[in-house]
Structure 1
């Protein structure tokens, strides 16, 4: 399974790959494989993702703005250039106190069958 929406063999500016939505959240899947997904998000000020959990680790990299990630009840402030790991099966939420863009990497466990 492979679903990639970005042009191969080309340097692309992350920020230009998504258009923010006024008073909303925009997302764009940049790559999707059996090993995980790469998704770009743009949050307008005051927007966010409600608390949820996932069965695999997720990595957040902030590109612009600032985000408050609440992971297992603990708030973490993430600014451009920072990276935060959200562990599998742990509740987490995202809030944007200002307009922000983030890259989300979902890492799936892959089980290999050896005969």
Structure 2
């Protein structure tokens, strides 16, 4: 698989695309374009991402486990089957009270060249 992304026109079991790491966070970019990235994360219990912000929207979809997303200071519980939008330029963090796998979709604004 070139650049560690997934091959086109193939079906994959999403949980097979990443290996969880004990007491750590694993990540793998599944697709990357100028419009955004699709990244798979595996969090071990108790792991997380400290508060930060991004200049574009991000969508979180939980595949396994449970995550608490702290968005602008407000906790949002995310479990399998849920989807959460984290708006651009708003501080957010991720906490894993149990082992979890999430799909992160980063949506970049594409500016049109009007020349």
Which TM-score band applies after superposition, normalised by the shorter structure? over 0.9
Q: How do residues 10-21 of structure 1 correspond to structure 2 at under 5 angstroms?
A: 10-21=10-21
> Match for residue 47 of structure 1?
47
Distance in 2 separating the partners of 1:43 and 1:4: 19
Q: Which residue of 2 aligns with 1:103?
A: 103
Q: Secondary structure, in 3 states, of the residue corresponding to 2:59?
A: strand
Q: Deviations over 1:19-60 (max 9, x none)?
A: 000000000000111000000000000000000000000000
Is contact 2:4-2:28 (8 Å) kept? no
Q: Quick one: distance in 2 between partners of 1:103 and 1:82?
A: 11
Unpaired stretches in structure 1, ≥5 consecutive residues: none
Q: The residue matched to 2:49 in structure 1 has which SS?
A: strand
State TM-score, norm by structure 1: 0.96
Deviation (angstroms), 1:113: 1.1
* Cα deviation 1:66-100 (Å, max 9, x = unaligned): 00000000000000010000000000000000000
- Point out where structure 2 has 5 or more consecutive residues left out of the alignment: none
Corresponding residue for 2:29? 29
Partner of 1:73 in structure 2?
73
Which residue of structure 2 lines up, in the alignment, with residue 57 of structure 1? 57
Q: TM-score, normalised by structure 2?
A: 0.96
8 Å contact from structure 1 (residues 61, 84) kept in 2:
yes
How many pairs were matched up? 113
Q: Is the 8 A contact 1:66 1:97 kept in 2?
A: yes
Q: State how far apart, in whole Å, the 2-side matches of 1:4 and 1:56 are.
A: 23
RMSD over aligned Cα atoms: 1.0
Query: Would you identify which runs of 4 or more consecutive aligned residues in structure 1 move more than 4 Å?
Result: none
